[in-house]
Amino acid sequence: MISNMATGRLRIDCGRATSRRRASTPVDECYTQLQAEGYIVTRPGSATRVASTEHPSTTAPSRPSPAAPLTIDFRPGVPDLSSFPREHWSRALRHACRDAPSDLLGYIDPHGSPALREVIAAYLRRVRGAAAEATHVLICAGYAQGLQLVLRALASEGMSVVAFEDPSDPDHRAIAAMLGLEVVGVPVDECGIDTGALAATNARAVVLTPAHQSPTGVVLAPDRRQALITWAAAHNATIIEDDYDAEFRYDREPVGALQGLAPDRVALLGSVSKSLAPALRLGWIVSPPHLASAVAYQKKLGDRGSPVFDQLALADLVQSGRYDRHLRHMRTRYAARRAALVEALHRHAPKVELRGPSAGFHTVAQLPTGTDELSVVAAARRRSVGVYGMSTYRVDQQTRPTQLVLGFGNLTVDAIADGIGSIADLLQGG
């Protein structure tokens, strides 16, 4: 055999042809395989050739240099990751793997594990005052998937406009926009979402965080709760309740879930992302009865169901009481960190006013008039301190009034004091 790869030609000396059909050799088989996979081409009366290997350029586009790492990061929404109960979780996983019947290892009900659904329903009735039945509970991969499933179900029934609190998490608004829904922002004041402004829209669903508004921290007032329910009934609309930070109130018991007042109008969404860790990707939806089947259908289409061992482990953690004990422990830690933030601001930046109740693990800092939010954020980052402006949460990205959303959940007391001390002059303005 003689080859000339430079010219893309292959010449094979097959020897003298004989009338007898010779047996296939390894070389024949190799060439047959190369032809089948497109590496060579053969034509009658022509030499075997190497197939064209021209491909479009795969040069990767240049990427911007990564931002300098932050020494202290006041990022909101991040819990104390170092306090994840690893021993309890690993024990619960071992029990689940050892005891789960084999039939649970197949394609399970898209609603999720019956055991976890019963446990979550009982927990929500006991702790959140929800009107939760296991038949209407669906286990999902955290809040983001839960929101997407409910919006998809509502869209399949003709809903096309959804309202969000303004300010609110821009990623959540992006989920609705991704689904082709029209997104409208409704202002939030010291009593929560403005129900009068909501009624003036043509929205047929609203997403809100009544227990601890994200990010302003206000609690939805009782009269606004009733007004919301009245609006939903009058417009055949659905309230999507994000039970954000409901576990963490430090000065009194948290208000009950809005869903408990109108279970036929409210879809209650929760997760363990803040109470345990975001990486678990475990959450739940308590659907209005008329919506439960449509939500389950969307879950079935999406991923066939959440991991069963993790579901059983969470059920074990809640049933055993270890989940409640963990929450009590974390409330103490977060309350101490919030107190450290209050004290650090009082000492280093007394012109800064804190907004919102003693709850959750972020707070809103009102900066003095004339302070430029974007400049403060950029200058703090140059000092390796991450702070986050309220403008990123506002629909119009307006930087007035000048406010920062400061998370303290994943910072130690010492780090909080050091971080505020290092940017105190930036926070006090001119």
Sign of the torsion angle spanned by Cα atoms 308, 314, 316, 318: negative
46 contacts 9 by C-beta, under 8 angstroms:
no
If we measure between CA atoms, which residue out of 327, 349, 351, 354 comes closest to residue 338?
Answer: 354
- The pLDDT score that the predictor gives to residue 36 is 75
Write down the H helix ranges in 157-236: 170-178, 195-199, 222-234
Stated length of the chain = 430
How is the chain split into domains, by residue range? Answer: 2-50, 72-78+324-427, 85-320
> For residue 59, what are its two tokens?
């040069």
CATH 3.30.70.20 fits 85-320, yes or no: no
CATH topology of domain 72-78+324-427: Aspartate Aminotransferase, domain 1 (3.90.1150)
For 125-165, what is each residue's pLDDT tens digit? 999 999 999 999 999 999 999 999 999 999 999 999 999 99
Does this chain's domain 72-78+324-427 share its CATH topology with 85-320?
A: no
**pLDDT for position 245:** 86
143 contact partners, CB below 8 Å, separation of at least 6: 242, 269, 270, 271, 273, 283
pLDDT reported for residue 310 = 97
Give buried/exposed letters for 80-110 (b at 16+ CB in 10 A, else e). beebebeebbebbbebbeeebeeeeeeebeb
Residue 246, φ and ψ in degrees, nearest 5: -65, -25
Question: Given this model, what pLDDT does residue 29 score?
Answer: 76
Question: Is residue 220 within 8 Å of 208, Cβ to Cβ?
Answer: yes
Please tell me the predicted confidence (pLDDT) of residue 27: 74
Residues of the chain with pLDDT under 50: 1-19
pLDDT in tens, 393-422: 999 999 999 999 999 999 999 999 999 999
| End-to-end CA separation in angstroms for the chain | 84
pTM of the shown model: 0.86
Q: According to the model, what pLDDT value does residue 250 have? A: 86
